[in-house]
Structure 1
Amino acid sequence: MEKLMDIKLNNSTILVTGGAGFIGSNLCEELLKQDCKVVCLDNFSTGKIENILHLFDNKNFKLIVGDIRKIEDCQKVTKGVDYVLHEAALGSVPRSIADPITSNDVNVSGFLNMLVAAREANVKRFIYAASSSTYGDSKSLPKVEDVIGKPLSPYAITKYVNELYADVFSRTYGMECIGLRYFNVFGRRQDPNGAYAAVIPLFVKKLIDHESPVINGDGEYSRDFTYIKNVVQMNLLALSVSDKSALNTVYNTAYGERTTLNQLVGYLKEYLSQYDSQIANIEVIYGDNRSGDIPHSLASIEKAESLLGYHPQYSMKQGLKEAVQWYWENLK
């Protein structure tokens, strides 16, 4: 990845919360390539040690096991840190519907703990994972940052509250905060197992195992699937932008293209059948629509293009081909 930064990040110390998770581990890896010192905080509730084992030999990498729900853990990890990439959260709309209290504890109370600790430690900038779920029942497409609807799940509420807290902390305490509204991120290390697995790794695993993927609804719901390398690029841009007008706001973090679930399964079968021809003939099962799901999601990325200089390097199909190859090599 090119070094496109205004602010030089090399030799900076950057804390990645949730650094053993899917997105967090990819960020840790790239920051080390950018000659940063990386502190990874994780409690391994959803993160996995194998996601970061290959980083342990790097003298600039440090793992701290801790929980953002404990203010003392947040204070410990922010000491001496220049920047924070806050990725730690309990994802999944269905998980939040099943257990709203834990989602709120982690995503709201934990977020507030991190903001307070970062302010106390005089961290230069606080970048956090926001979510496209914040758009809620807004029917307008594409999604533009300043037009949102009512949240449709406890998870969506928690991510919107994060944005409100970040805005108040920037106004009240002069903190530099940037929220990145992630749109259906996918890629290597995204876990295909468990009750709350994301749709792409879940479908890939089903197809590799010669099982039928189950689509909720008729398959015409659409998403702006966003490859992990574009998300890493956005985080680097948010860390390094020096223009004050680009700070203390939120950005859609996406590719800017819609793909239906039916199209997605078609691409997955096409790409996976290059490794196993039988996959092309696997049938899809259709089930009921899922509570809390947004029918259609498509991001406008104009704001990020204008203020951050964001130009996504990977289309959905390019990313999917890379992801499929990674899963084939790692799930077999």
Structure 2
Amino acid sequence: MYSTPFHTTSINHLTFLVTGGGGFIGSNLVEYLLLHGAGSVRVLDNFSTGFRQNLLPFAGNPALEVVEGDICDLATCLAACEGVDIVLHQAALGSVPRSIHNPAMSNEVNVSGFVNMLTAAKDQKVKRVVYASSSSVYGDSVTLPKVETQVGNPLTPYAVAKRANELYADVFAKTYGMEIIGLRYFNIFGNRQSPEAEYAGVIPLFMEALLQGRAPQINGDGLQTRDFTYIENCVQANIKAALVQNPKALNQVYNIATGVRSKLLEVYQIIGKAAGVQQEPHFKPARIGDIKDSLADISKARALLGYNPQVSMPEGLQRTFKWFKLQKQLLEQAH
């Protein structure tokens, strides 16, 4: 993973802060930065949804510093941003169902925590903040493909929070002269995405079920479409956003996806083929807040960030399944 760099200038003089660095996307960013010689990589995570084991492969690297703390505490954010050049803000309480179950907590972490991070970055004179937004901000808009300028009405508390992030980022950029870039992720999947989390993504749940010989669950008829995006493409977008020099690219939000949509049943069939298993899934009612179709227009990210997704959904699924299978084998050997 990440043997080919997504950047062209040295990063060995830069200090990065990755919030949520113990999580799925955060730990992949940490891996990339350390592999390519970042001067310093600080992780801020309270490990409520992230995993310490995601950072174990890098434990001996002197450039890595792990701070256990919560973005809901402003003092913690201020300390974490001290001496930092670039913040990659991934810390959040993800998941649409979780936000429906506990909207107050979703707001506290995803909105108040985000404002804390922007405030800390402002006060500590951080050069740039790149943050994770979400395709959920498109809400009830049925327009396809999704274009950054046409958002709909949010359908869930999580979507409200992510839209609030974008509004706060815009205000902080204009009011305080900050450099802030938002990335609207579309269904990111890949290595280190946990199937054990309470609100796990559908792809790790499919893989876990098939590796255990169980039939997975599909909410809805399986014909809903998504722009499934492999983690390596997501990391590329973050690095490009962190280092882009084009002034027109700053203080914008971008769709981060592949520009291709796939039915959920197609995804399941590809995973089943990789697993060598033909197992009929269990169909359950569609979830509240789930949309039928999603597809990103990525032309803005291509033009202004130089983003160019390298890994297709089928190839990403193959890579991810190999990783999951290896983890299962290592776990069995350990026992």
* TM-score in same-fold range (> 0.5): yes
Match of 1:17?
19
Q: Which runs of 5+ in 2 are unaligned?
A: 330-335
1:91 partner SS: coil
Mapped pair 1:153 → 2:156: yes
Residues matched between the structures, number: 326
Mapped pair 1:215 → 2:212: no
Mapped pair 1:5 → 2:2: no
**Residues 213 and 285, structure 1, Cα contact 8 Å, conserved in 2:** yes
Amino acid aligned to 1:244: P
Q: Which runs of 5+ in 1 are unaligned?
A: 274-278
Percent of pairs identical after alignment? 52
Q: Distance in 1 between matches of 2:66 and 2:233?
A: 25
**Residues 17 and 41, structure 1, Cα contact 8 Å, conserved in 2:** yes
**Residues 6 and 236, structure 2, Cα contact 8 Å, conserved in 1:** no
1:52 partner SS: helix
* CA offsets 1:203-258 (integer angstroms, 9 cap, x no match): 11111111111111111111100000000000110011100000000010111111
* CA offsets 1:233-290 (integer angstroms, 9 cap, x no match): 00110011100000000010111111111111111101111xxxxx22x111111011
Moved more, 210-219 or 222-231: 210-219
Q: Distance in 1 between matches of 2:93 and 2:303?
A: 31
1:123 partner SS: coil
Match of 1:57?
60
**Residues 95 and 196, structure 1, Cα contact 8 Å, conserved in 2:** yes
Match of 1:306?
303
**Residues 133 and 156, structure 1, Cα contact 8 Å, conserved in 2:** yes
How much has 1:7 moved relative to structure 2? Answer: 5.4
Match of 1:276?
none
Q: Distance in 2 between matches of 1:32 and 1:311?
A: 22
Amino acid aligned to 2:255: N
Considering only aligned residues, what root-mean-square deviation do their CA atoms show, in Å?
1.0
Alignment TM-score, normalising by the size of structure 2:
0.96
Amino acid aligned to 2:305: L
Q: 1:68 aligns with which of 68, 71, 87?
A: 71
Q: 2:280 aligns with which of 279, 283, 293?
A: 283
Q: Distance in 1 between matches of 2:69 and 2:275?
A: 38
Mapped pair 1:31 → 2:28: no
Alignment TM-score, normalising by the size of structure 1:
0.96
How much has 1:6 moved relative to structure 2? Answer: 5.8
Equivalent residue runs for 1:47-126 within 5 Å:
47-126=50-129
